[in-house]
């Protein structure tokens, strides 16, 4: 993977933690105003405006997310403590369009994958670079520097992924994406 600023770590959470996190997420209310179900914590994110601001403050991140927050800090994955969390749920066939994360988010974007693997595609914004990366269950993906600002990332809308030379059907995948918000 030749993308500067991209860090990928397998087994970032244990199987027991994965189960606890999925159970915690499923106790929360889902937002259904976009194609996939999402949850927002810390600050509400506006998909159309692609922004988040101080008036959208919802409160602290939930207690169930704190062990992950601490592990991100202990691993030096984020400069500051994350104050925004988006939970994305992808049923087989669902994905997310190619995008660079909004400028109102800080310099590191940390996503934990739960439930099922998928392939994430990367495309260089101002160049020909194209890469794909399998995001395993329980892994952590960190985007910073060029990976955060100079590459788009996307999850194709399809029901299976080619992983290790074979088609792997997707199951339900839930991601927890931790960010900091730039409020000024
Ligand atoms: O589901 C993921 O791993 C990535 C989510 C994402 O790209 C986003 O919320 O902007």
Greatest alpha-carbon pair distance for the chain in Å reads 48
pTM summary value: 0.96
Q: Is the CB of 111 within 6 Å of ligand 1?
A: yes
Question: Phi first, then psi: what are they for 137, rounded to 5°?
Answer: -55, 140
Q: Is the pLDDT of residue 80 over 90?
A: no
Residue 118's beta-bridge partner residues? Answer: 135
Mutate to test the pocket of ligand 1, among 25, 40, 175, 176 (most ligand atoms within 8 A of CB): 175
Tell which residue, 110, 96, 81, 93, has the closest CA to residue 153: 96
Distance CA 96, CA 169 (A): 17
pLDDT, one tens digit per residue, over 4-54 is 999 999 999 999 999 999 999 999 999 998 999 999 999 999 998 888 878
Question: Phi first, then psi: what are they for 31, rounded to 5°?
Answer: -95, 140
pLDDT, one tens digit per residue, over 96-138 is 999 999 999 999 999 999 999 999 999 999 999 999 999 999 9
């Amino acid at each position: 993977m030749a993308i500067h600023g991209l860090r990928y770590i397998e087994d970032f959470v244990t199987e027991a933690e994965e189960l606890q996190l999925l159970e915690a997420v499923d106790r929360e209310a889902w937002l259904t105003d976009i194609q996939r179900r999402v949850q927002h914590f810390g600050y509400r994110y506006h998909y159309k405006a692609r922004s988040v601001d101080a008036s959208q403050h919802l409160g602290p991140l939930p207690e169930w997310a704190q062990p992950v927050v601490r592990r991100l800090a202990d691993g030096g994955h984020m400069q500051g403590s994350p104050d925004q969390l988006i939970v994305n749920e992808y049923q087989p066939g669902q994905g997310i369009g190619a995008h660079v994360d909004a400028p109102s988010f800080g310099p590191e974007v940390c996503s934990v994958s739960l439930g099922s693997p998928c392939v994430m595609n990367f495309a260089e914004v101002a160049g020909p670079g194209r890469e794909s990366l399998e995001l395993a269950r329980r892994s952590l993906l960190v985007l910073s520097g060029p990976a955060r600002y100079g590459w788009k990332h996307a999850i194709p809308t399809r029901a299976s992924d080619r992983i290790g030379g074979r088609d792997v059907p997707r199951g339900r995948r839930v991601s927890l994406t931790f960010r900091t918000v730039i409020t000024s």
